[in-house]
Amino acid sequence: MTDSLPVALYNAAQVRELDARLIAAGTPGFELMQRAAHAAWRALRRRWPDEESITVLAGRGNNAGDGYLIAALARRAGRQVKVVAVGDAQQLQGDAALARDAAREAGVDICPWADDVTLEGVLVDALLGTGLSGEVRDPYAGAIERINASGRPVLAVDLPSGLCADTGRALGVAVRADLTVTFIGLKLGLFTAQAPDLVGELVFDDLQADETQLARLQAAATRLCPASLPRLGPRPMTAHKGSFGQVLVIGGDLGTGGAALLSAEAALRCGAGMVSLATRPEHVTAALVRRPEIMCSGVESTYSLTALLARADVLVVGPGLGQASWGRSLLSLAPGFGKPQVWDADALNLLATGAVEVPPDCLLTPHPGEAARLLQCDVAEIQADRPGAARALAERYRCAVILKGAGTLIAAPDGRLALCDRGHPAMASAGLGDVLAGVAAAFLAQGLAPYEAGCLAVWLHAAAGESHGREGRGIAAADLITTIRHLLEEQSPCRM
Query: Do the annotations mark residue 408 as ligand-binding?
Result: yes
Helix axes 450-470, 477-491, angle to 10 degrees: 120
34 contributes a contact to ligand LP7C6HRI by CB under 6 A: no
125 contributes a contact to ligand LP7C6HRI by CB under 6 A: no
Binding-residue pattern over the window 66 to 105 for K ion, x denoting contact by CB under 5 A: ----------------------------------------
Least gap, CB of 121 to ligand LP7C6HRI (angstroms): 21
Buried b (16+ CB within 10 A) or exposed e, 29-41: bbebbbbbbebbb
Query: Do the annotations mark residue 82 as ligand-binding?
Result: no
Query: Do the annotations mark residue 367 as ligand-binding?
Result: yes
Query: Do the annotations mark residue 121 as ligand-binding?
Result: no
Among 125, 253, 265, 434, binds K ion (CB under 5 A): 125
Among 103, 122, 128, 174, binds ligand LP7C6HRI (CB under 6 A): 128
Q: Give Cα 286 distance to the centre of its chain.
A: 36
d(CA 95, CA 66): 9
Buried b (16+ CB within 10 A) or exposed e, 297-324: bebeeeeebeebbeebbbbbbbbbbbbe
d(CA 362, CA 335): 10
Of 8-27, binders to ligand LP7C6HRI (CB under 6 A) are 19
Residue nearest K ion, Cβ-based: 161
Strands 154-157 and 122-126: what pairing?
parallel
Total number of residues shown for the chain: 496
132 binds, among ligand LP7C6HRI, K ion, none (CB under 5 to 8 A by kind): ligand LP7C6HRI
Q: Give 191's Cβ-side CA count (13 Å radius).
A: 31
Name residues whose C-beta falls within 8 Å of residue 455's C-beta, 6 or more positions apart in sequence.
224, 229, 230, 410, 418, 420
Taking the least distance from each CB to ligand LP7C6HRI, the nearer of 216 and 231 is 216
Instruction: From residue 287, give the alpha-carbon distance in Å to each of 259, 392, 462, 463.
Output: 11, 37, 26, 28
d(CA 185, CA 196): 18
Asked whether 427 and 410 are in contact (CB, 8 A), the reply is: no
11 contributes a contact to K ion by CB under 5 A: no
Report how many residues bind ligand LP7C6HRI under the rule CB under 6 A.
26
157 contributes a contact to K ion by CB under 5 A: yes
Of 57-76, binders to ligand LP7C6HRI (CB under 6 A) are 59-64, 66
204 contributes a contact to ligand LP7C6HRI by CB under 6 A: no
Least gap, CB of 129 to ligand LP7C6HRI (angstroms): 2
∠ CA(179), CA(182), CA(186), 5° rounding? 120
59 binds, among K ion, ligand LP7C6HRI, none (CB under 5 to 8 A by kind): ligand LP7C6HRI
Name residues whose C-beta falls within 8 Å of residue 482's C-beta, 6 or more positions apart in sequence.
269
Binding-residue pattern over the window 159 to 178 for K ion, x denoting contact by CB under 5 A: --x-----------------
385 binds, among ligand LP7C6HRI, K ion, none (CB under 5 to 8 A by kind): none
∠ CA(264), CA(474), CA(411), 5° rounding? 55
113 contributes a contact to ligand LP7C6HRI by CB under 6 A: no
32 contributes a contact to ligand LP7C6HRI by CB under 6 A: yes
d(CA 386, CA 191): 11
Name residues whose C-beta falls within 8 Å of residue 298's C-beta, 6 or more positions apart in sequence.
279, 280, 281, 282, 283, 284
136 contributes a contact to ligand LP7C6HRI by CB under 6 A: yes
Which residues are near K ion by CB under 5 A? 125, 156-157, 161
- Binding-site positions: 63, 125, 129-135, 140, 158, 161, 259, 320, 367, 404-408, 433-434
Which residues are near ligand LP7C6HRI by CB under 6 A? 19, 29, 32-33, 36, 59-64, 66, 128-137, 140, 157-158, 183
